[in-house]
Structure 1
């Protein structure tokens, strides 16, 4: 089934739109080039379940206050039963603690996302701006762009000004009862440590978070704390598991429009990444760093925020090629990392 988009117009900020019985779509602003996030409200007799919370902006808080004040009544009124967070990124977790304070509802997350959020927020255990800068310098990023990234220090905490200090843990395979239906927790990797998507077979709906987006490709990065990780391999393996879902499944993504056509989208993402991998390999006949290859992967001007994601993604693609045996990693005495095609390296010896 080719992708199709049953809802052409998203709801305005502060408004809701019912996409399936008991499933309401919200859209909140983001302060980036990617200027929105989709959030979801699931109706139940025990109260509403919120799926993701938005970036910590006053405008987003105002939208939430507007929505909470006029939620359609359940038998328990406008009560919030739970706040489900798909992963730790600021546009998803940003207002979880605030909403928890406002509503008294528990926050539900996987262990990997909860602990990573705390590690990034406190910049411990290899997480934070300084380890990232050290990684990017090793991969060839120049002083000016590193300095610009250093000036962004604390960006995560601005998007997530406070964190939940207790939560209900989600496990892969959990089935959460909401609105007389069962929502299965489906774990994915590569975009974040333990991303939780939600699938309801009875309704034929997948809340995919950032794991499956309709038009843009999900950012897949390698982080300083796991420098040799095959994040792209993990991501592609994760989205392959969506092929088992029925083709008529309605996918509710975090960005873009709801769509049908899972298998076609998974195929397109595989093709996109395979093409990028081939191009990178062809550019590594001589040793090249991730920073030198940014223009190859992203042939456009990048702002500082985009540079951060682009470096992580370039390293992820180079690591994938290394794991596949197509590139060799070279590291000099100063820790500088470059990659070269195996065939080119063999011919030079």
Structure 2
């Protein structure tokens, strides 16, 4: 491959139930995601000779299982899946790991990803708990939206993630793995998910980026009610800087969504610039006190629908926490109980982003 100064897309997506060979023994498959954006998740199958290592799985649903049966009898040629490598704990990536585990596969993932996924499948809620409602009030969610959400079953991992049986193989920073006749080094990223595993080719130019590095879109960097002071934006920017130092110009990136791409170094540079500009824009918007729910327009530049409202809210909090952690904004509780953020005049700007705390992946 020649030097690639910008991001390009050399492959056309596979048809439903089929695969595209990206390199010898490396297949790209796509699993549909209903009622999600993006509407698919990428799965990669690495040929181990007597079986397959698959990377990520899609949600657990009747449709997804049907698609997987097509994969198993079609492009995977009836050979068993012996290993499922899960990049991170989000349901569109771990959803069918337990189902494949029950068919004989071993699950490999980071310890944080496995513990978090298993915990969340066991934490089934019929209605949002009181602490979640209080969290939404602090973020300035309108009362009518809170009332509507309070009366409905919230999103549950148990609804779309198959049960993970006890027993898995933990992977970690710097570990070497052999899969598909190739050697890979695990590099851990953070921000989108704690301990997100990426795989960097050793002696070849393929990098499994998962959701840590996506082409065309940025990963969601949301704060959950379980850790309201978290700084996922800072963690992610720090991870992008570290991974950017490893990236070259001719690597083929295999993302969790969209298409495989060339130009990994360029894409990481784009993501860093985009993240910094977004924080600058938000800081300028905070010239007056603002609630988290007030920040959608400046962050996203479009109307946020009800289906993506909570994702947008969590990500708005992530950006506000970054500015607060960096000393560029302060947060106060108003008489109505909602938090409000305001910029700090003369605060340090983008050249100090993500340097006030260590990257947890180091």
TM-score by length of 1: 0.90
Partner of 2:210: 209
Confirm or deny: 8 A CA contact 1:96 1:164 kept in the other structure. no
> Counterparts of 2:44 and 2:148 in 1: how far apart (Å)?
35
> Counterparts of 2:262 and 2:346 in 1: how far apart (Å)?
44
Partner of 2:270: 268
> For residues 149 and 271 of structure 1, do their structure 2 counterparts lie closer, same or farther at Cα, with a shift above 3 Å needed?
farther
Deviations 1:193-225 (A, max 9, x none): 111111113221111110001101111011222
> For residues 134 and 197 of structure 1, do their structure 2 counterparts lie closer, same or farther at Cα, with a shift above 3 Å needed?
farther
Deviations 1:247-266 (A, max 9, x none): 10100101111111112211
Deviations 1:274-293 (A, max 9, x none): 22211211121221110111
Partner of 2:58: 54
> For residues 266 and 180 of structure 1, do their structure 2 counterparts lie closer, same or farther at Cα, with a shift above 3 Å needed?
same
Confirm or deny: 8 A CA contact 2:14 2:29 kept in the other structure. yes
Confirm or deny: 8 A CA contact 1:140 1:337 kept in the other structure. yes
- For structure 1, the residue ranges without an aligned partner over 5 or more in a row are none
Aligned residues: 337
Structure 1 residue 146 displacement after superposition: 2.7
Deviations 1:59-114 (A, max 9, x none): 211111111123556xxx71222011111111101111111112x01111111111
Structure 1 residue 178 displacement after superposition: 1.6
Partner of 2:82: 81
Partner of 2:233: 232
> For residues 40 and 312 of structure 1, do their structure 2 counterparts lie closer, same or farther at Cα, with a shift above 3 Å needed?
same
TM alignment of 1:314-325, pairs within 5 A: 314-325=316-327
Partner of 1:29: 32
Residues 1:304 and 2:298 aligned together: no
Partner of 1:40: 44
CA RMSD of aligned residues (A): 2.1
Flag as ranges the 4+ runs of structure 1 deviating above 6 A. Answer: none
TM-score by length of 2: 0.87
Structure 1 residue 341 displacement after superposition: 1.5
Structure 1 residue 132 displacement after superposition: 4.0
> Counterparts of 1:133 and 1:199 in 2: how far apart (Å)?
41
Partner of 2:350: none
